[in-house]
A = this chain, B = another copy of it.
Amino acid sequence: MQGSPDILYKAAQHLPKAGGKRLRPALVILVSKALGGTLENAIYPALSIELMHNFTLVHDDIMDRDEKRRGIPTVHVIYGEPMAILAGDLLYAKSYEALLKSRLAPDILKKMTEVLTWAAVTLAEGQALDMTFEERWDVSEEEYMEMINKKTGSLFAASAMLGGLAANRADLQEQLKELGSKMGVAFQIRDDLLSLIGDESKTGKSKYNDLREGKKTLIVIKALERASSTQLETLKNILGKKDASLDELERAFRILEETGALEYAQRKAEELAERAISIVKSLPVVDEDARNILIELIEFGIKREY
Q: List chain A positions with a Cβ less than 8 A from chain B.
A: 3-5, 7-8, 59, 62-63, 81-83, 85-86, 88-90, 92-94, 96-97, 100, 105-107, 109-110, 113-114, 116-117, 120-121, 124-125, 127-129, 131-132
Contact = CB atoms under 8 A, between A and B. Distances in A.
A6 B128 CA distance: 9
Counting every copy of the chain, the complex holds 2
Contacts of A132: 5, 7
Contacts of A125: 3-5, 8, 90
A127 B90 CA distance: 11
B121 A94 contact: yes
B110 A100 contact: yes
A8 to B, nearest CB: 4
A231 to B, nearest CB: 29
Contacts of A117: 93, 96-97, 100
B89 A124 contact: yes
Contacts of A88: 89
Given A114-B100, A121-B93, A59 B85 contact: yes
Contact of A124 (B8, B63, B114): B8
A304 to B, nearest CB: 28
B124 A93 contact: yes
A93 B59 CA distance: 14
A134 B121 CA distance: 33
Given A106-B106, A110-B106, A124-B93, A83 B5 contact: no
